[in-house]
Amino acid sequence: MDHILQIGDSFIEQNTIFSELILELKQSFSNNNVIVPLRHHHDFPNPEVSADSTLLLMPAWNPSKIAGVKIVTVSPENSQFGLPSIQGTYIYFDALKGTVKAIMEAKSLTVKRTAAASALASSYLSRKDSKSMLMIGTGALSINLIKAHASVRPIENVFIWGRNFKKAEAIAKELKNEKFNVYPIKTIEEKISEVDIVSCATLSKTPLVLGAYLKSGQHLDLVGAYKPDMREADDDTIKKASIFIDTFQGGLKESGDIVIPLKNGTLQEKDIKADLFQLCSNQKSGRQNKDEITFFKSVGHSLEDLTAATYYYNKFKND
């Protein structure tokens, strides 16, 4: 058996160039050579913290070439243990022989590919002159989303809000040497009406992005709310925006940001403009004009994981 590579979070953190990863994702979504079953999604109780955790199994394969499966748990109460909510492993296979090529820690792989997918969508949906951004949420994704968006747009000022202001301050401090300025803020309302891009990555069950505060020309990037009873944007936002999703396969079923408006009649499936497959293959177009409010909902897709795993595997092999 070939030696199985062990690729840890530290390698992934130190060897990510978002412009490269975004391009790899764009090529994967445009080629559509990878077979991706609907991911397994299992909630299980954790009475000790009075909250459910979620087990996700996300397989994908490019026949006779590569395959992989991500095994992830999402535990919303992990902050009380000083741990990220997302934990997991990625197993990377030779699809022809079935041998394991590598085992990767999934935490950094997940946040990097998620941020890169959001930035890929932004490259089609946000205004090219977008200079300001509001980041809602202070979890592991926030820094990555900020950096990824800044890699595709000329971001100058970033405002960050979280339920814990000290976390927002810490992120601003961590990003102090970037080419953009970062400012922690105490309320969402004080900046949401001013910025060009709003990115939201939270575990909120109630909307934080309210349509009443939006202005024409904004782009909304919604990454959290990964279950049907969770949402980050209200119905008023849905009514005002042009809706795009990462994939129809998962986007129509998994997040309350889409599921709830579909159920209550605020949104019709035919109103959803396109997914990343259609945008990247030029089957559908993105932003139509400078005044349009665009809305991108991401729930994650195994194609993104397999693409990212291949990207890091090749970097590790060539290191």
Q: Are 232 and 222 in contact (CB under 8 A)?
A: yes
CATH code where residue 89 lies: 3.30.1780.10
Confidence label for 79 from pLDDT (cuts 50, 70 and 90): confident
How high is the pLDDT of residue 249?
80
Quick one: pLDDT at residue 47?
Answer: 86
Question: Cα 90 from chain centroid?
Answer: 17
Same domain, 123 and 241: yes
In terms of domains, do 93 and 12 share one?
Answer: yes
Judgement on whether residues 88 and 219 belong to the same structural domain of the protein: no
Q: Are residues 158 and 294 in the same domain?
A: yes
Considering the domain architecture, whether residues 81 and 228 belong to the same structural domain is answered as no
Please report which confidence band the pLDDT of residue 164 belongs to, taking 50, 70 and 90 as the band edges. very high
Both tokens of 35, joined, read: 């077979």
The count of C-alpha atoms lying within 13 angstroms of the C-alpha of 152, restricted to the half-sphere facing its C-beta, is 28
Mean pLDDT of 279-300: 95
The verdict on 22 and 77 lying in the same domain is: yes
Burial class of 266 by CB neighbour count within 10 A (0 to 12, 13 to 18, 19+):
middle
Q: What is the pLDDT of residues 108-123, one digit of tens each?
A: 999 999 999 999 999 9
- Average pLDDT of the chain to the nearest whole number: 93
Please report, for the domain that includes residue 164, its CATH number: 3.40.50.720
Q: What is the mean pLDDT of residues 251-278?
A: 91
pLDDT of residue 60: 95
Answer whether residue 273 shows pLDDT above 60.
yes
Clarify whether residues 150 and 103 are in a common domain. no
pLDDT of residue 85: 80
Would you give the distance in Å from CA 169 to the centre of its chain?
Answer: 22
Query: Are 235 and 285 in a shared domain?
Result: yes
Measured distance CA(46)–CA(32) in Å, rounded: 38
Asked whether residue 38 carries a pLDDT value surpassing 90, the answer given is: no
Average pLDDT over residues 120-148: 96
pLDDT of residue 319: 74
Alpha carbon 221 to chain centroid, angstroms: 8
29 touches 276 (CB < 8 A): yes
**CB-CB contact of 242 with 295 (8 Å):** yes
> pLDDT tens for residues 227-253?
888 999 999 999 999 999 999 887 788
Residue 146 and residue 271 in one domain: yes
Counted domains in the chain = 2
Overall pTM surpassing 0.85 (yes/no): yes
Q: Residue range 259-269: average pLDDT?
A: 92
Q: Are residues 28 and 167 in the same domain?
A: no
Q: Which domain holds residue 264?
A: 117-300
% pLDDT > 70, the chain:
99
Q: What is the mean pLDDT of residues 286-307?
A: 95
Are 163 and 251 part of one and the same domain? yes
pLDDT band at 205 (very low <50, low <70, confident <90, very high): confident
What is the arrangement of strands in the sheet containing 5-7, beginning at the earlier edge strand? 5-7, 100-105, 86-94, 66-74, 51-62, 40-46
Which contacts (CB < 8 Å, 24+ apart) does range 35-44 have? 35/60, 35/61, 35/62, 35/63, 36/60, 36/249, 36/301, 36/302, 36/303, 37/302, 38/249, 38/250, 38/253, 39/250, 39/300, 39/302, 41/254, 43/227
Task: Please tell me the predicted confidence (pLDDT) of residue 2.
Answer: 67
Examine the domain organization and report whether 195 and 100 are in the same domain.
no
pLDDT at residue 1 tops 60: no
* Pairing state between β 86-94 and 66-74: antiparallel
